[in-house]
Chain A
Amino acid sequence: MELVADRITKQYKNKIAVDRMSFTLTKGVTGLLGANGAGKTTLMRLLCGILVPDSGTVSCDGMSVGTEEYRDILGYLPQDFGYYPEFSGKDFLLYMSAVKGLTKKDAMRKTKELIELVGLEDAAGKKVRTYSGGMKQRLGIAQALLNDPKILIMDEPTAGLDPQERIRFRELIANIGQERIVLLSTHIVSDLEHIADRLMIMKDGQLLWNGSRSAGGEDLEVFYISVIDEKR
């Protein structure tokens, strides 16, 4: 499994949001670090086929981004997402299962399984609008996993989670991250300390640093600041 981005560029109005980025993602968890506005969300949308790059290509094992086959193995958690107003947590997951092409039977089974995995058993029948930020975020994580994705892309997955939920999320990612390509973005460096195998640091649409987590040394925060400063 290899997700290859080859010189992708995306311009929006006069701003270059992603500037000739090339990298390869393999199995394991990659953390994408960068300040707000560094282009993380645009990059993730490009990797999910939501935006089409102005130039360059994205593909996984030869499957090009934007094809059904690619989307079939993709799980995506956007930074901000909503829900149809009448939805309960369970309805939300069943709806997403249908859009992801799961049969009714598979949809019921996966929904039940994932509700347990993210610990929403008691709230599954309640309307999503009554959920706390952390609960909604857990629901988002669950929908990303419905189709058993081989590529999992999560934009700020820990936003809105309380400390306990954060720990739970870390364990979850550690478990499911081994056999998949996981890319998660954050601007909170400590989120990645224990879960990322690799790091990518982005600034102004460019990749400043790309390497294994261990190369970052003991204190990730210090390393991150040194990389950002170095290129100034």
Chain B
Amino acid sequence: MNLEEQYDRIFKYLYYHLHDIHMAEDLTQETFLRFLESRTYQDENRQLQYLYTIARNLCRQYYRDKTIVYSLDEAMDYPLLEDFEQTLVERIGLIDALQKLSHEEREMLFLRYVNDVPVPVISHLYHVSRFVVYRRLKKILEKVRDEMK
């Protein structure tokens, strides 16, 4: 496992939850310290799963059930790409659609598609089977798509 690459991902995951760059980095480092101080696994997915488990627990410890809301301003900060008008509208649509998802649905979407966490790892994090993860991700994407129509 490439630790430095995972550092960025875990940071991203924590930033997504905390929206505070310093707190996110502090907890990222705490996550890695705990991860490195404990025994490791031969299997890379197990390592990843443990890493996310620690990060998630630390996050819960600091901010119990804080729900994440993306503000519109932030979304507009991002570099705008080609066909400006359309992407902007679509992106705002996506943000609205994301708001309508449950906390868990949003996190699952984030883990799978933003952080590229493998499905077996997600299935362990949520204590459900891989099949359920596939089905739920599909459903969530459908929900987002319907919302954005």
Q: Do chains A and B touch in the complex (CB under 8 A)?
A: yes
Counting CB contacts under 8 A, is A101 at the interface?
yes
* Residues B50 and A69 in contact, CB atoms below 8 Å apart: yes
Interface size, chain B (Cβ < 8 Å): 10
> How distant is the Cα of A69 from the Cα of B55 in the complex, in angstroms?
13
Decide yes or no whether B53 CB sits under 8 A from chain A: yes
Residues of B within 8 A of A171 (CB): none
Q: A residues within 8 A CB of B60?
A: 62
- How many cross-chain pairs have Cβ atoms below 8 Å apart between A and B? 18
Nearest-CB distance from B109 to chain A (Å)?
Answer: 22
Residues of A within 8 A of B61 (CB): 61-62
Report the minimal beta-carbon distance from B29 to chain A, rounded to whole angstroms: 15
B57 at interface by CB-CB < 8 Å: yes
- B2 on the A face (CB < 8 A): no
Tell me which of B39, B50, B53, B57 contacts A101 (CB under 8 A): B39
Asked whether B106 is an interface residue with its Cβ less than 8 Å from the other chain, the reply is: no
* Chain A 7-38 near chain B by CB (<8 Å), digits 1 or 0: 00000000000000000000000000000000
Residues of B within 8 A of A63 (CB): 53, 57
Interface size class of A (residues with CB under 8 A): under 10
In the complex formed, the residue of B with least CB distance to A63 is B57
Is B94 in the interface zone, CB < 8 Å from A?
Answer: no
A176: interface (CB < 8 Å): no
Contacts of A101 in B (CB 8 A): 39
Q: Is B71 part of the binding interface, using a Cβ–Cβ cutoff of 8 Å?
A: no
Add 9 more A-B contacts to A62-B60, A63-B53, A69-B53 (CB < 8 A).
A61-B34, A61-B58, A61-B61, A62-B56, A62-B61, A69-B50, A72-B39, A101-B39, A147-B39
Seen from chain B, the residues whose Cβ lies within 8 Å of a Cβ on chain A are 34, 38-39, 50, 53, 56-58, 60-61
- Identify the A interface with B (CB < 8 A): 61-63, 69, 72-73, 101, 147
A sample of 18 cross-chain residue pairs with beta-carbon separation below 8 angstroms, ordered by A number, consists of A61-B34, A61-B57, A61-B58, A61-B61, A62-B56, A62-B57, A62-B58, A62-B60, A62-B61, A63-B53, A63-B57, A69-B50, A69-B53, A72-B38, A72-B39, A73-B38, A101-B39, A147-B39
